[in-house]
Structure 1
Amino acid sequence: MLCQFTVKNFKSIKDEMTFDMQATAISEHEDRVIKDKDEELYLPVSAIYGPNGGGKSNVLEALHILVAKVLRPLYATDDNNNHPYQIKKILIEPFAFGAKEKESPTEFELFFRTKNAEYRYFLNVKKDIVLYERLDRVKLDTGRRSALFERSEKRIELKGVLSRLKISNEFSETLTLLSYLGIMYKKNEVIKDILNWFEYGIEFLNYGNPIQELRMAIANSEDVKSIVLEMIQEMDLDIIDFRIEEMENDRFEVYTKHIVDGYESELNLSNESSGTKKLFGLLPFIADSLIFGTTLVIDELDAKIHPALLRHIIMLFNDMEINRHGAQLIFTSHDLSTMNSEVFRRDEIWFVAKGKRQNSTLYSLVEFKNEKGESVRKDAKFDKQYLEGKYGADPYLRKIIDWGKINA
């Protein structure tokens, strides 16, 4: 699972910004948290709100860029030319409105957990060149902490269980050490554990990528298909089944089966409404995440889906009897129908907006204090106060409201 992510000097993000999936010590919905084997508590859901152009998508993109920077070299020789990490060129852009920032590296820090350990990964990159990299580990069964490697411009040092591995003298300055170790030592248990999380433990869904959208619609797992059908039927659509027909040249067609007034018929997915098409791009990912306990990251989850469906999806992750494997859902949204204390804990609601210097600021509802130093009550009308601009990130204003303490 994702524990915490920090980024600095990336696009609209000038200063260090931390997005935290650790549950805070608050009293509401205490049954809606993920409890790991060491009793640490994590959030199953987090939503990021804010005005258009405020920087919401940049927070998720920064995380995506970090994962892509690690994974892309591993797929360099992959026969599948449609792999999203091969198609997408990785551009790590610094903050645009500062001479100092343009000459400084972009800094990433990532905490994530597998079944075996918690890892802390640092990466500093200037354009495409890696300036600093570090990886630490805490074993969950013993609590033992250890450094695994550290890389600077002058030296590379493998430590602990990785100390016996060898590195080429011609090691590329644009290649992350983690990627290199994955290429050279993919069978090493520790390296495999780490890279399995990057490859399978976190998934990004972007409605703007048509190739990825098509890939989303394929659900070869019967478990995934079963959950997708259950969700469709709960939405009271007349779709009772669907099938995928493989065509030549890696093409495929999706057909939906309907029964109307006792008459059964099939439709090609291309003939369905845009909303139904979107569901078939979304629901297999939701089902897959819940089954395998992955972290699912979606930009604009509320796009083209009904607010009732949005609430239903959020509550699937919030229900620990359904979400038995520690799945997480992280998304950006403009929908206010779900911004309330019934759906979210205060630490699951985040805001992003731009300050006076065009730099984005990120903060959670649980840590927000107004100009009087007062915190938001757990029974407050979150949506109403947000619309009134009381949380700083006014949905109708591009720049942040200056409360004095925020982005001072």
Structure 2
Amino acid sequence: MLCQFTVKNFKSIRDEMTFDMQAAAIAEHEDRVIKDKDGEFYLPVSAIYGPNGGGKSNVLESLQILAAKILRPLYATDDNHNHPFQMKKIVIEPFAFDIMGKRNPTEFELFFRTELAEYRYVLAVKKDVVVYESLDRVKLDTGRRSALFRRSYEGKELKGVFAKLKISEDISETLPLLSYLGITYKKNEIVKDVLDWFESGIAFLNYGNPLQEMRMADANSEGIKKLVLEMIQEMDLDIVDFRVEEKENDKLEIFTKHRVGEYETELNLSEESSGTKKLFGLLPFITASLLDGTTLMIDELDAKLHPVLLRHIIMLFNNMEINRSGAQLIFTSHDLSTMNNEVFRRDEIWFVAKGNSQNSKLYSLVEFKNDKGESVRKDAKFDKQYLEGKYGADPYLRKIRDWGRINA
């Protein structure tokens, strides 16, 4: 489970920016939150809105780049060449519009939870060189806090349960210590717990990735087929079934069965509309997230999707009877049909826009206040007020309106 993520000096993100999945203490949709074993509450859904070029995608990409920085060295040591982070060059780009951005490191701070513990991981990188790194843990059953390691220019120190582990003195300056521990002590329970979350606890969906088609192999399961067909019914399409066929060189092809009256025919997925193609690309990830309780991050989820289907997907995660494993859906969107108090809590709606220095600003609807210091009412017309520019992130302008209204 993702708890909180902070990034600074990455692409359009100049100042420290925090994205928080902890549920605020507000009296709305209180049945739509994830309650963890220690009584803490977290959000199952968050949507990020804003104009094109405002920096929405950079919020998601910053967390993806952090995961890639950690996992790619591990993947380089195994024989599986299909890992997504092996297929993409990792470039950590600092803020480009002032001299200090290039001089300073890019900083990440991440809080996440597994079944065993909550972890805080910090990484600062400058030109691919690790300048600072730390890992801390809180055990969920006892609440006991402990530091696990620290790394800086002054040296590396393993602490607590890691104190007995041995590390080389000549670790590459570009290799995260967490990655080194994963390579050297991959059977260690805590090391495995942390890296399993980065590898399997969070997923990033990027269209056009050849690995996306490979995931469709899962669609042969009855659970996924049932969910696919339920969503298709929401769209009122005439698809009544589908099948996945494995071709040469492990290539997969998907065939959809249509019924019009008493007549049935089968089409290759390549012949379907772009919306139907996207639907079939989405479903394996959505189903896996709901079943396994993972965090799923999707850029422009609403693109090429019918608004009814978009709402249906959101409500799958919001329904705690369906979302029993504590899955989370985080996405960027331009769709306003779902920006209302029936679909979202105020702490689930986020905005991104750019300031005069081309720096992105991130803030949630629940923390937004007008010039009188008043918060947005829970029964407000979110979509209408957003279109009027009352929340600062004007959907049609790249720069932010009424910058002073947004709390620092």
Q: Which residue of 1 aligns with 2:381?
A: 381
Contact 1:228–1:287, Cα closer than 8 Å, also in 2: no
Query: Counterpart of 2:216?
Result: 217
Q: What one-letter code is carried by the residue in structure 2 that aligns with 1:277?
A: K
AA matched with 2:217: I
1:130–1:176 contact (8 Å) kept in structure 2: yes
Aligned to 1:122: 122
2:209 partner letter: P
Alignment correspondent of 2:69: 69
Partner of 2:89 in structure 1?
89
Q: CA deviation at 1:162?
A: 1.1
1:366 aligns with 366
- Size of the aligned set, in residue pairs, is 407
How far 1:210 sits from its partner (Å)? 3.3
Q: How far apart are residue 320 of structure 1 and its match?
A: 0.5
- 1:95-244 → structure 2 map (5 Å cutoff): 95-207=95-207, 209-219=208-218, 221-244=221-244
Read off the aligned partner of 2:77 and give its amino acid letter.
T
Q: Please list the CA deviations of residues 99-150 of structure 1 after superposition, one character each: whole Å capped at 9, or x if unmatched.
A: 1111100000000000110000000000211010000000000000000111
Bigger drift between 78-87 and 267-276 goes to 78-87
Paired with 1:142 and 1:238, the residues of 2 have a C-alpha distance of 53
Shift of 1:324: 0.5
- Residue 17 of structure 1 is matched in structure 2 by 17
- Aligned-pair distance for 1:212? 3.4
Partner of 1:325: 325
- Are 1:350 and 2:350 an aligned pair? yes
Amino acid at match of 1:63: L
AA in 2 matched with 1:136? D
Task: Identify the range of structure 1 (44-53 vs 229-238) with the bigger mean alpha-carbon deviation.
Answer: 229-238
Offset at 1:407?
A: 7.4
- Percent identity, aligned pairs only, is 78
CA RMSD of aligned residues (A): 1.3
Q: Is the 8 A contact 1:216 1:282 kept in 2?
A: no
Q: Could you tell me how far apart the structure 2 residues matched to 1:151 and 1:405 are?
A: 39
Q: Give the Cα separation in 2 of the matches to 1:274 and 1:75.
A: 33
Q: Who is 1:300 aligned against?
A: 300
Once the two structures are overlaid, the 10-residue window that deviates more, 220-229 or 319-328, is: 220-229
Q: Which amino acid counterpart does residue 217 of structure 1 have in structure 2? A: M
Matched-pair contact (CA < 8 Å) for 2:231–2:309: no
- Name the CA distance, whole Å, in 2 between partners of 1:389 and 1:90: 36
Q: Cα offset for 1:325? A: 0.5
User: In 2, distance between residues paired with 1:367 and 1:171?
Assistant: 43
Q: Is the 8 A contact 1:7 1:109 kept in 2?
A: yes
- For residues 68-98 of structure 1, the C-alpha deviation after alignment (integer angstroms, 9 at most, x for no partner) is 1111111113433332100110000000011
Name segments (4+ residues, structure 1) moved above 6 Å: none
The offset of 1:161, in angstroms, is 1.0
Deviation at 1:353, TM superposition (A): 0.2
Q: Per the alignment, in what secondary structure is the counterpart of residue 48 of structure 2?
A: strand
| Match of residue 44 from structure 1 | 44
Offset of 1:405 from its aligned partner?
A: 4.2
218-227 vs 121-130, greater mean Cα deviation:
218-227
CA distance in 2, matches of 1:82, 1:95: 31
Gaps of 5+ in 1: none
TM-score by length of 2: 0.97
Q: Which is worse superposed, 398-407 or 107-116?
A: 398-407
Q: Give the partner amino acid of 1:202.
A: I
Task: Provide Cα deviations, 1:216-266, integer angstroms capped at 9, x if missing partner.
Answer: 433254433332233223433222222211122221211112222223322
Distance 1:222-1:170 versus aligned 2 partners, 3 A rule? farther
264-273 or 289-298: bigger deviation:
264-273
Q: Which letter maps to 1:321? A: E
Tell me how far apart the structure 2 counterparts of residues 227 and 186 of structure 1 sit (CA, whole Å): 35
Distance 2:188 2:257 in 1: 46
Q: Is the 8 A contact 1:224 1:291 kept in 2?
A: no
For 1:379-403, what per-residue CA distance to the aligned partner results, in whole angstroms no more than 9, with x for missing partners? 0000000000000000011101124
TM-score (norm 1): 0.97
Q: Aligned in 2, Cα 1:403/1:170: closer, same or farther, shift over 3 Å? A: closer
Matches of 1:243 and 1:181 in 2, distance apart? 42
User: What is the identity, as a one-letter code, of the residue corresponding to 2:229?
Assistant: L
Secondary structure of the corresponding residue to residue 325 of structure 1: coil
**Structure 2 match to 1:287:** 287
In structure 1, distance between residues paired with 2:313 and 2:10: 30
Partner of 1:336: 336
8 Å contact from structure 1 (residues 204, 298) kept in 2: yes
Structure 2 residue runs of 5 or longer lacking an equivalent are none
Report if the CA contact (8 A) 1:225-1:284 is conserved.
no
Looking at structure 2, the residues matched to 37 and 150 of structure 1 have their Cα atoms a distance apart, in angstroms, of 28
Instruction: Tell me, yes or no, if the aligned pair for 2:355 and 2:403 is still in contact at 8 Å.
Output: no
Could you say what secondary structure the match of 1:259 adopts?
strand
CA contact (8 A) 1:82 1:211 kept: no
Answer yes or no: is 1:270 the counterpart of 2:254: no
* 1:329 match: secondary structure: strand
**For structure 1, which segment, 7-16 or 397-406, has the greater mean C-alpha deviation from structure 2 after superposition?**
397-406
Q: Secondary structure at the match of 2:404?
A: coil
For 1:14-71, what per-residue CA distance to the aligned partner results, in whole angstroms no more than 9, with x for missing partners?
0000000000000010110000000100000000000000000000000100011111
For the 8 Å contact 1:295–1:327, the answer to whether it is kept is: yes
Contact 1:108 1:124 in 2 (8 A): yes
Letter of the 1:159 partner, please give it.
K
d(CA) in 1 for partners of 2:389 and 2:216? 39
Partner in structure 2 of residue 401 of structure 1: 401
Q: For residues 27 and 322 of structure 1, what CA distance do their matches in structure 2 show?
A: 22
